Amino acid sequence: MSPRIPTVVLGGTGYVAGELLRLIAAHPNFRLAAVMSDSQPGESIARAFPHLASSYPGERFRSQAEVAPLIAAAPESAVFSAAPHGVSASLIDTLLSGAQRAGTRPRVVDISADFRYASPETYAQVYAHAHGAPGRMREFTCALPEHLNEATTPHIAHPGCFATAILLASVPLLAAGLVRQPLFVSGVTGSTGSGRKPVEGTHHPLRHSDLYSYGALSHRHVPEVAACARAASGVAAQFAFVPHSGPFARGIHVAVQAAASRAVDTADVLAALRDFYAHAPFVRVTAEAPRIKDVVASNYAHLSAAAKDGTVAVLCAIDNLTKGAAGGAVQWMNRLFALPETTGLTAPAPGWT
């Protein structure tokens, strides 16, 4: 068996980093070389993630100064960034520059928003700060693995969690010319979508038995979704998106609706989805409405559809931390290292969480 690929995780104590560590622990080809933590270098991984104690009993978070030489010394390495946007780009740039000087070739999958845009100006418009590494933007492709066979860049920007569900549901409709503009999207996310740092909107008494929308028609990730949808389908689509906070920790459910462009029934739309995802190992298309319980803690996406009286609806359920972040990133990293894309990712959902 070939030696396992040294793997580094940035953004160490965050929820997505924890999910990356869980997946890497079970991956046959990736070996955890280091987890970088800005706030807790030297602390034990098991303290931040007690559920991972048996996989990483003695390992500790490392500082940037410890991680950089590891990446520079390894002839090849896999680097996942689960750092926040605005931090990730400059951190990745520093680590890649060190590797370049040493003549080594890390591959990066960035799960933050920093490399999802093609131009620093567009990024600055949306995020209201200058991009941290504009010279690196052309080294990244932003796409779902289901929508791009092969990346031509060395590194990948993962589209994000709501974006994953919306794109999985919308791109087949756009590609087949089944709908007219705009696409109306309603989505519900679990509280882990807001990250580990407690804020009012993620506080348990406020959230556990409630449901409410936020950022209606002005969610920050809509331009990224539109850009990815255009690249994947060739259609410039308009998305009217109303996100909601749901009373659960993990999972995303979206419903995409639009006017049909021609006479279609439910069977036609299900057939179009099945056809589009015939070779996508993590996408299941069923006649039954998808439920987040059936996908949570797995890399699977469940899709269904309905069509009636000139309207088409596609429903999608994923886990925000797995398929929408860490799992989708591992899927891309598998491909960057010419491994089967399913490697380490085929465990089914627990079903009752």
Ligand X SMILES: NC(=O)c1ccc[n+]([C@@H]2O[C@H](COP(=O)([O-])OP(=O)(O)OC[C@H]3O[C@@H](n4cnc5c(N)ncnc54)[C@H](OP(=O)(O)O)[C@@H]3O)[C@@H](O)[C@H]2O)c1
For residue 193, state whether it binds ligand X (rule: CB under 6 A): yes
Return the HEC string of 117-139: CCCHHHHHHHHCCCCCCHHHHHH
Q: How far apart are CA 231 and CA 9, in angstroms?
A: 28
Q: What is each CA distance from 164 to 34, 69, 187, 265, 299, in whole angstroms?
A: 27, 34, 12, 25, 11
Residue with Cβ nearer ligand X (45 or 176): 45
Residue with Cβ nearer ligand X (172 or 193): 193
* Strand, coil or helix: 256: strand
Binding pattern for the stretch 160-179 against ligand X, x by CB under 6 A and - elsewhere? xx------------------
Q: How far is the CB of 223 from ligand X (least distance, A)?
A: 15
Residue with Cβ nearer ligand X (176 or 193): 193
For residue 12, state whether it binds ligand X (rule: CB under 6 A): yes
Cβ distance 80 to 7 under 8 Å? yes
The piece of 15-23, 52-60, 168-176, 336-344 that touches ligand X (CB under 6 A) is: 15-23
229's CB contacts (< 8 A; 6+ apart) are 167, 170, 171, 174, 235, 237, 239
Strands across the sheet with 30-36, in order?
Answer: 30-36, 5-10, 76-81, 105-110, 155-157, 140-142
For residue 15, state whether it binds ligand X (rule: CB under 6 A): yes
For residue 304, state whether it binds ligand X (rule: CB under 6 A): no
8-state DSSP, 348 = P
Q: What is each CA distance from 279 to 221, 283, 338, in whole angstroms?
A: 27, 9, 17
Question: Positive or negative CA dihedral for 112, 160, 126, 202?
Answer: negative
Q: How far is the CB of 324 from ligand X (least distance, A)?
A: 5
Q: From the list 7, 37, 245, 331, which residue makes contact with ligand X (rule: CB under 6 A)?
A: 37
For residue 7, state whether it binds ligand X (rule: CB under 6 A): no
| Known catalytic residue at 161 | yes
Q: From the list 6, 9, 11, 123, which residue makes contact with ligand X (rule: CB under 6 A)?
A: 11
The piece of 1-9, 193-201, 240-248, 308-316 that touches ligand X (CB under 6 A) is: 193-201
**Which residue lies nearest ligand X, judged by its C-beta?**
14
Q: From the list 7, 13, 245, 257, which residue makes contact with ligand X (rule: CB under 6 A)?
A: 13
For residue 195, state whether it binds ligand X (rule: CB under 6 A): yes
Q: How far apart are CA 82 and CA 157, in angstroms?
A: 11
Q: How far is the CB of 10 from ligand X (least distance, A)?
A: 7
| CA gyration radius, the chain | 20
For residue 245, state whether it binds ligand X (rule: CB under 6 A): no
Give the 3-state secondary structure percentages of the chain, helix then strand then coil, rounded to 5: 35, 20, 40
Cβ distance 195 to 325 under 8 Å? no
Catalytic residue from among 142, 161, 228, 316: 161
**Could you say which residues in the range 109-138 bind ligand X, by CB under 6 A?**
111-113
**Could you say which residues in the range 49-88 bind ligand X, by CB under 6 A?**
82-85, 87
Q: How far is the CB of 259 from ligand X (least distance, A)?
A: 30
Q: From the list 8, 9, 16, 254, which residue makes contact with ligand X (rule: CB under 6 A)?
A: 16
Q: How far is the CB of 319 from ligand X (least distance, A)?
A: 9
* Strand, coil or helix: 44: strand
**Could you say which residues in the range 311-330 bind ligand X, by CB under 6 A?**
320-321, 324-325
Q: How far apart are CA 118 and CA 121, in angstroms?
A: 9
* Residues that are catalytic: 161
Would you tell me which residues interact with ligand X (CB under 6 A)?
11-17, 37-40, 82-85, 87, 111-113, 160-161, 192-193, 195-197, 320-321, 324-325
